[in-house]
Amino acid sequence: MKAAVLYERRTPLVIDDLDLASPGAGEVEVRLVASGVCHSDLHHIQRDTPTILPVVLGHEGAGIVTAVGPNVTRVAPGDHVIIAFGPKCGECYYCVRGMPYLCTPARPARPRLFKNGQVINQFLEVATYAERTVVSEKNVVKIRDDAPLAVCSLVACGVTTGIGAVINTARVEPGSNVVVIGTGGVGLNVVQGARLAGAARIIAVDVRDNKLEFARAMGATHLINAAREDVVERVRALTGGYGADYAFEVIGNPATINQAYESIRKGGTAVVVGVADENAELTIKPVWLMRQAKTLMGCAYGSARPQVDFPRIVDLYMEGRIKLDELITRRFGLDEINEAFRAMEAGEVARGVIDLA
């Protein structure tokens, strides 16, 4: 089975032939149809993160169940599924409280990928830059058969994270003024989440004009190019001098997190969606946090419950209420994966998708 393996940080992924375990108890095998290219994968190539190498990256995938192990009840061969990344044990402190995005399982998943007997890790227990994968049945969510799977792969991360940040995490009210800093694959979904929530002004901020045009197509009402304009000043001017009700940072950079925090009004909420470097630190004056009664929130995986949210998001797409096709700028073969990362880093695409079927 072919998969893209990261053997060494800051080197290209290697397309390699790996052995995949048969699904064990509670596990399923999925033939992947597509996997979106998310900036989080690139972080693990470029940065020193806790992820152990070698690893097959990819966490934004969808496909068709091809085999199930003993005691699998949620899906059967032939089912169309979107893969939910990260542990989802269903039993830990967080899972039982409805926060699977914080799952802290008692046991790690067993190894399922091998090269000549050597274990190859599965990124976030899913490893979707591969022709097939074996995952826990808790990591797959069955969806309707009539939804195009390649497009639905984006629901596995970017779409759910972005829309979820607005709807689940911040709970933006209709009529709110919303700022989105960083309108890449995830940020564009924060923009469309804000539109879905009935936001009044949706102010998109990026350093690239092409990204701002994508944001306009997803529902942004105002565009700010941070390379040329003062973001905080422009946001104030667009919000009657007060600042926005909500600001979302979707880059993972302390400077832009500060910008989000400065862009909100007194009593407003700034939400950190972007993944910062492991050692990055944020400086905020606590006296102003208190005096201005601001809220600074973290958002992991759009605070989503994938079994509930994925089918809902797919329905919204099928009903024409959210846009997914427009997010996909370019499609690549698995052997073009390094080019797909280059295109993302160069800012050429809204989202790139790897076709695997």
Question: What is the number of other CB atoms lying within 10 angstroms of the CB of residue 104?
Answer: 10
Stretch of residues binding ligand APR (CB under 6 A), selected from 138-146, 169-177, 273-281, 330-338 = 273-281
The smaller minimum CB distance to ligand APR, of residues 121 and 256, is found at: 256
Q: Is 124 in the site for ligand APR (CB under 6 A)?
A: no
d(CA 166, CA 197): 8
Which positions are catalytic?
38, 40, 43, 59, 157
Among 155, 251, 313, 340, binds ligand APR (CB under 6 A): 251
Among 270, 272, 344, 356, binds ligand APR (CB under 6 A): 344
- Binding mask of the shown chain, residues 32 to 51, with x at each position contacting Zn ion by CB under 5 A: ------x-x-----------
Contact between 44 and 57 under an 8 Å Cβ cutoff? The reply is yes
What is the four-CA torsion angle of 305, 310, 315, 317, rounded to 10 degrees? Answer: 120
Rounded to the nearest whole angstrom, what is the least distance from the CB of residue 232 to ligand APR in the complex? 12
DSSP state letters, 16-67: EE-EEPPP-TTEEEEEEEEEEE-HHHHHHHHS--SPPSSEE----EEEEEEE
Q: Is 92 in the site for Zn ion (CB under 5 A)?
A: yes
**Cis amide prior to 111 (ω within 30 degrees):** no
Find which of Zn ion, ligand APR, none residue 254 binds, CB within 5 to 8 Å per kind: none
Per DSSP, the chain holds a count of helices (H) and strands (E) of: 10, 19
Question: What is the number of other CB atoms lying within 10 angstroms of the CB of residue 229?
Answer: 11
Q: Would strands 201-206 and 222-225 be described as parallel, antiparallel, or unpaired?
A: parallel
The residue count for binding Zn ion (CB under 5 A) is: 7
Find which of Zn ion, ligand APR, none residue 183 binds, CB within 5 to 8 Å per kind: ligand APR
Contact between 168 and 190 under an 8 Å Cβ cutoff? The reply is no
Q: Is 89 in the site for Zn ion (CB under 5 A)?
A: yes
Q: Is 226 in the site for ligand APR (CB under 6 A)?
A: yes
Stretch of residues binding ligand APR (CB under 6 A), selected from 49-57, 92-100, 175-183, 289-297 = 175-183
Which residues form the interface with ligand APR (CB under 6 A)? 38-40, 43, 161, 181-187, 205-208, 211, 226, 250-252, 256, 273-275, 344, 347
Which residues form the interface with Zn ion (CB under 5 A)? 38, 40, 89, 92, 95, 103, 157
